[in-house]
């Protein structure tokens, strides 16, 4: 295989891999946008039910201001998504941090750790675990954990008795049940969607490309199409492994 042919063969899967990564990043950003719209609607419904249906006083102006801020940020995220440019991990990380901050502010205004919806942090951590790499997701875990610890000590009181013995008659128990069902449903829906956005291999097309290059350069494999020597440890094998690794690295670094 001459240099020109090899170069063209190398550029094609790298370009394809870069396009696939860009598409996956945009789809993941879109999932976060959809999840944030659900959070906005859910917060409005919860505020309405708590303040008006249950008669528990809430700082409506402050809480609705937080919801309005989430709407503005989500519109900005939607405009960013429509540019169709590649999405970096740091953008998803900042988006999740803002979601954690908004949830923390709402919980601070409505009972802190005594609010049954405190477990929504787990949903954000689960989504982050699918979207982000090592350092970013552990940062989300640390920040969310710190927020829970602070809410245990600092919050505005909410006259909501945590009496679980009343069963379904207890507003606190009902809140826990709603929070559990929301977590379960949204985790399944969004984790499934995000997992479909992730390629089955580090970069789609790389294994087959490396295999083709190895076969083209190895005379034994070229003449013997009936046998698979991909694991024989010979020259073709190490060339395929090295080339596959280099292309994966190039695609991810790009």
Q: 6 pLDDT exceeds 90?
A: no
pLDDT, one tens digit per residue, over 201-243 is 344 444 444 444 444 444 444 444 444 444 444 444 444 444 4
- Residue 83: the pLDDT is 92
Q: 96 pLDDT exceeds 50?
A: yes
Arithmetic mean of pLDDT over the chain: 77
Give the highest mean pLDDT range of 2-11, 79-88, 211-220, 232-241.
79-88
Q: Mean pLDDT check: name the lowest of 78-87, 95-104, 153-162, 219-228.
A: 219-228
Report the percent of the chain where pLDDT is more than 90: 44
Q: Which of 171, 170, 246 is nearest to 209 (CA)?
A: 246
Q: 48 pLDDT exceeds 60?
A: yes
Work out the average pLDDT over 133-140.
Answer: 92
In this structure, what token pair is assigned to residue 22? Answer: 């860009």
- Residue 2: the pLDDT is 55
Tell me which of 87 and 15 has the higher pLDDT: 87
């Amino acid at each position: 295989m001459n240099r020109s042919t090899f170069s063209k063969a190398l550029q094609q899967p790298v370009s394809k891999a870069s396009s696939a990564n860009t598409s996956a990043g945009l789809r993941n950003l879109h999932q976060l946008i959809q999840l944030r719209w659900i959070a906005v609607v859910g917060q409005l419904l919860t505020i309405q039910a708590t303040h008006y249906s249950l008669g528990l006083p809430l700082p409506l102006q402050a809480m609705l201001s937080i919801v309005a801020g989430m709407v503005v940020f989500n519109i900005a995220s939607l405009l960013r998504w429509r540019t169709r440019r590649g999405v970096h991990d740091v953008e998803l990380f900042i988006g999740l941090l803002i979601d954690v901050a908004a949830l923390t502010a709402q919980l601070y205004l409505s009972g802190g750790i005594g609010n049954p919806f405190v477990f929504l942090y787990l949903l954000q951590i689960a989504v982050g675990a699918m979207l982000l790499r090592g350092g970013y997701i552990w940062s989300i875990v640390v920040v969310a954990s710190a927020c829970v610890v602070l809410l245990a000590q600092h919050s505005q009181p909410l006259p909501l008795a945590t009496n679980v013995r009343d069963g379904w008659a207890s507003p606190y128990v009902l809140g826990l049940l709603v929070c559990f069902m929301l977590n379960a449903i949204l985790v399944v829906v969004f984790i499934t969607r995000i997992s479909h956005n992730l390629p089955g291999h580090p970069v789609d097309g790389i294994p087959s490309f490396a295999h083709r290059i190895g076969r083209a350069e190895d005379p034994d494999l070229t003449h013997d199409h009936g046998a698979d020597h991909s694991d024989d440890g010979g020259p073709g094998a190490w060339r395929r492994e090295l080339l596959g690794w280099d292309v994966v690295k190039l695609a991810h670094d790009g």
